[in-house]
């Protein structure tokens, strides 16, 4: 059920078809070669995406077989183009744009593997995804009833208040899927490292990191530094949430000074469904990377006006189409582009009534300059209003760089693509914007309502951060062999305890292989992009808010960053468009500097945004003597 995610992510990685070998290897010949190759690969890439779309919207066996065949065809052609380009002395070319195009094409990725090994790797990934999507566990009360992850288990974690029931389902699911994929994952690691070495890297961790165009060691240190800046805010949030859970469940369920058992972080019904980054996040979050489902029982000021506008959306007779039109109008107000005619014809914006589809939220570029689509089973609720803006942000990015040569039709690093949609949603979820579009009543500013709104956003974006970091920390260790198969699970939980302050719900063993229950791990999707993307979208937000006259760093009380709404600011939109149109034609630091004036990742804007909440958390936690951090011992550690 998750295969469409693979191609949507792959949209960001240009791939090229072979043309007849050049007879001469001059700079001019290279230009002609790339021009023809780009035209032909665009046609093949369109074919690949049509096959992926057909499968994800029909789920027929025939469409799956066709999808697999065209993806194999694409991999073979990528490898041939790499072979042809390697004959050119492109590093000596005078044309900087041409050099960069050749550089971007000089890493064919997994396509470089011999055919048999490449097929083994594809089978390993697809089979792990299949096992993940089809795994079932028995119902707690009725053992004859089987339950799938979606919608059965996610529904349980969204709606159930029975802590013992949730512990049962958490343990059963993690043990079931982990044991199924453990051996396959080890083969996947071996083949991925083999592909990385053929691409010129020591291991697959270095290959993944090269997308950020920095040495691996430097990049890892930069990520560590960013986390040290963010950790104090996360720990304050963790301490407050743990306190509220302790007040409800008592010391028989969790310790006031320890990690939070995983099943408690996904145990409460809620109406706010987050705008998903990719197709594998659900409102009943069994991975506990998002905490927004805890809002109703942890909200700082329960008696204050709610900022959940779902009732207003329903009362004002919003439809999925109206939500999409509202989103398009936001981008138009920034002087950005309207959706194409084919977008409105071909997109799926609500769940079909008479056929099954993969109901994830994805944005598609069919590589022809006209055909862009969103697939989203939209519900009339606040979370999906944000999701629509997020996915349309991806489409806007695709459209803005469509004039570029094909190698440049992607974001300059994976985090940029995620940042654009999340940037827009920061304005959309501001109280100012919700009032402006008539979803909240005009009322005097209330600092308590502001704290509630910031807290809601923090449960989504701040709670998410350590998970996005530790998932790839673990995989970097796996790929460089500092974490070995005999201690996969032990090290996974050590990282979750260290960075997230989350412990297993029951005693864990190596054979459980809990990393296998994380979809990004078994689907070969690097996760650090979401960590980088979160840092970036707050940097973008701050800079565009200044351009829009919505934020004054010298007077943040009068014009607070969290209340900024760039809607209807053509100054902000023109600045954003300038960066989007670059695509991947320059190093990401140059693209970042266009908007922010700075060329480095910086957690400062995120901390500025949440400063009122940070102050409130510090005071509130101090008043009740909360431990900022967590102690843990054998009770929480994996049994090996």
Residues designated catalytic? 391
Q: Is 220 a known ligand-binding residue? A: no
Q: Is 247 a known ligand-binding residue? A: no
Is the Cβ–Cβ distance between 139 and 145 less than 8 Å?
A: yes
Omega before residue 164 within 30° of 0, cis: no
Q: Which residues contact 147 (CB under 8 A, 6 or more apart)?
A: 136, 137, 138, 139, 153, 156, 169
Is the Cβ–Cβ distance between 134 and 180 less than 8 Å?
A: no
- Count CB atoms within 10 A of the CB of residue 321: 12
Please give the C-alpha separations between residue 497 and each of 168, 339, 401, 512, 566, in angstroms, as whole numbers.
Answer: 21, 44, 41, 17, 38
d(C-alpha 579, C-alpha 592), whole Å: 8
d(C-alpha 2, C-alpha 574), whole Å: 36
Q: Which residues contact 602 (CB under 8 A, 6 or more apart)?
A: 535, 539, 596
Q: Which helix (H) or strand (E) holds 6?
A: helix 3-10
End-to-end CA distance of the chain: 33
Q: Is 577 a known ligand-binding residue? A: no
Is residue 375 helix, strand or coil? strand
Reported residue count of the chain is 640
- 608, two tokens: 């500025």
Cα 536 to chain centroid distance, Å, stands at 13
Q: Is 394 a known ligand-binding residue? A: yes
d(C-alpha 574, C-alpha 547), whole Å: 10
- 507, two tokens: 């005693």
- 100, two tokens: 């960069």
Please give the C-alpha separations between residue 392 and each of 196, 364, 524, 533, in angstroms, as whole numbers.
Answer: 33, 10, 25, 16
Go through 85-100 and write b for each residue having 16 or more CB atoms within 10 A of its CB, e for each that does not: beebebeebeeeebbb
∠24-30-35 over CA atoms, to 5°? 130
Q: Is 529 a known ligand-binding residue? A: yes
Strand partners, 147: 137
- Count CB atoms within 10 A of the CB of residue 35: 12
How does DSSP classify residue 149? I
SS3 helix, strand, coil % of the chain, rounded to 5? 60, 5, 35
d(C-alpha 119, C-alpha 127), whole Å: 12
d(C-alpha 219, C-alpha 528), whole Å: 11
The binding site for Zn(2+) consists of 390, 394, 418
The binding site consists of 212, 390, 394, 418, 529
């Amino acid at each position: 059920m998750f295969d469409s995610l693979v191609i949507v992510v792959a949209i960001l990685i240009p791939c090229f078809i072979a043309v007849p070998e050049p007879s001469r290897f001059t700079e001019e010949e290279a230009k002609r070669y790339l021009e023809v190759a780009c035209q032909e690969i665009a046609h093949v890439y369109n074919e690949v995406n049509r096959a992926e779309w057909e499968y994800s919207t029909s789920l027929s066996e025939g469409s799956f077989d066709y999808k697999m065949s065209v993806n194999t065809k694409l991999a073979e052609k990528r490898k041939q183009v790499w072979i042809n380009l390697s004959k050119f002395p492109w590093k000596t070319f005078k044309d900087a744009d041409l050099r960069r195009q050749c550089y971007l094409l000089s890493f064919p990725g997994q396509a470089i593997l011999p055919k048999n090994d490449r097929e083994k790797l594809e089978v390993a990934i697809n089979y792990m995804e299949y096992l993940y999507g089809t795994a079932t566990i028995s119902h707690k009360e009725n053992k004859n009833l089987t339950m799938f992850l979606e919608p059965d288990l996610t529904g349980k974690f969204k709606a159930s208040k029975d802590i013992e029931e949730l512990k049962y389902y958490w343990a059963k699911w993690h043990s079931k899927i982990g044991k199924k994929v453990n051996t396959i994952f080890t083969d996947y690691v071996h083949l991925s490292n083999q592909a990385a070495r053929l691409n010129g890297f020591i291991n697959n961790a270095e290959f993944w990191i090269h997308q950020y165009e920095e040495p691996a060691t430097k990049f890892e240190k930069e990520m560590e530094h960013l986390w040290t800046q963010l950790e104090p805010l996360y720990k304050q949030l963790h301490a407050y949430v743990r306190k509220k859970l302790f007040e409800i469940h008592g010391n028989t369920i969790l310790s006031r000074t320890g990690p939070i058992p995983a099943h408690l972080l996904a145990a409460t019904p809620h109406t706010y469904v987050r705008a998903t980054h990719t197709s594998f996040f659900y409102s009943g979050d069994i991975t506990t990377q998002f905490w927004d489902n805890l809002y109703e029982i942890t909200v700082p000021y329960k008696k204050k006006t709610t900022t959940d506008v779902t009732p207003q959306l329903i009362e004002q007779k919003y439809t999925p189409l109206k939500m999409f039109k509202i989103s398009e109008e936001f981008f138009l107000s920034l002087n950005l582009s309207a959706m194409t005619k084919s977008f409105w014809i071909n997109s799926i914006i609500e769940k079909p009534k008479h056929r099954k589809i993969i109901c994830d939220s994805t944005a598609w570029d069919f590589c022809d300059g006209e055909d862009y689509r969103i697939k989203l089973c939209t519900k009339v609720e606040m979370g999906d209003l944000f999701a629509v803006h997020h996915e349309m942000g991806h489409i806007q990015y695709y459209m803005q760089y469509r004039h570029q040569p094909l190698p440049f039709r992607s974001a300059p690093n994976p985090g940029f693509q995620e940042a654009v949609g999340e940037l827009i949603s920061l304005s959309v979820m501001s109280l100012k914007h919700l009032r402006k579009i008539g979803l909240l009543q005009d009322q005097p500013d209330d600092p308590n309502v502001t704290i509630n709104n910031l807290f809601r956003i923090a449960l989504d974006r701040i709670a998410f951060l350590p998970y996005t970091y530790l998932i790839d920390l673990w995989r970097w260790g796996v790929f460089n062999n500092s974490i070995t198969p005999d201690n996969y699970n032990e090290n996974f939980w050590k990282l979750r305890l260290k960075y997230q302050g989350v412990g297993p719900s029951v005693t864990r063993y190596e054979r459980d292989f809990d990393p296998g229950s994380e979809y990004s791990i078994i689907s070969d999707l690097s996760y650090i992009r979401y960590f980088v993307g979160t840092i970036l979208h707050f940097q973008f937000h701050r800079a565009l808010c200044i351009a829009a006259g919505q934020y004054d760093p010298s007077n943040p009380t009068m014009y607070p960053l969290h209340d900024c709404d760039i809607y209807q600011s053509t100054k902000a939109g023109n600045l954003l468009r300038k960066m989007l149109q670059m695509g991947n034609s320059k190093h990401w630091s140059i693209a970042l500097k266009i908007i922010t004036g700075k060329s480095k990742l910086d957690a400062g804007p995120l901390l500025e945004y949440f400063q009122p909440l940070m102050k409130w958390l510090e005071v509130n936690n101090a008043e009740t003597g909360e431990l900022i951090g967590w102690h843990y011992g054998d009770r929480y550690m994996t049994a090996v």
